[in-house]
Amino acid sequence: MNEFSPRQKAARVKLLVLDIDGVLTDGRVVYDDSGREIKFFDIKDGHGLKLLQRAGYAIVLLSGRKSAANRARAQELGITALIEDAKVKLPVLEKIMAQLKLQPEEVAYMGDDLIDLPPMRACGLAMAPADAWDPVKQAAHWIASRPGGQGAVREACEFLLKSSGKWDEVTARYF
């Protein structure tokens, strides 16, 4: 534990790493007759990520599973850093941090299940949706009031932007 508040931790973040299932989605997967996966993403979450991109943040989507729906969503959001099938996430996160030359304090990670605990512990700001599994919420520095796939990511984006003082600049065109 250190003395910094979640807001102070958020002010230093330059990279947001997001789990997909249960964070960018509500965690449910529908299969059609051909076995193709259908997932629900939130358009408001997407706009939050566009605001982060506008402010110069790096975004990485890091999933333990593999799905065409993930790739379609990443493409629509203009996120080129999509890593799938990462059953062990911490080494992947460490590699990303090394490539981008980022310190742990400059990284936020949002996850909802046990697979996310190691990367959450390794970064400066651990975030979780409201419906994350209990040990994950206990490990989080910041918890959204909304569940995964229903605004949790949008809240996280706004928290980062407001904590760093970039919110007014990236939303000026709307007000």
Interface residue list for Mg ion (CB under 5 A): 19, 21-22, 112-113
Residue (136 or 170) nearer to Mg ion, CB = 136
CA angle 32, 17, 115 (to 5 degrees): 65
Q: How many CB atoms lie within 10 A of CB 26?
A: 20
Q: DSSP secondary-structure letter at 108?
A: E
The two three-digit tokens of residue 37, written as one number: 């996966």
Residue (113 or 131) nearer to Mg ion, CB = 113
Residue nearest to Mg ion (CB): 22
What are the DSSP calls for 36-90, one per residue?
-EE--B-HHHHHHHHHHHHTT-EEEEE-SS--HHHHHHHHHHT---EE---SS-H
Taking the complex as a whole, how short is the minimal distance between the CB of residue 42 and Mg ion, in angstroms?
15
Taking the complex as a whole, how short is the minimal distance between the CB of residue 1 and Mg ion, in angstroms?
25
Residue (77 or 170) nearer to Mg ion, CB = 77
Taking the complex as a whole, how short is the minimal distance between the CB of residue 111 and Mg ion, in angstroms?
6
Residue (21 or 26) nearer to Mg ion, CB = 21
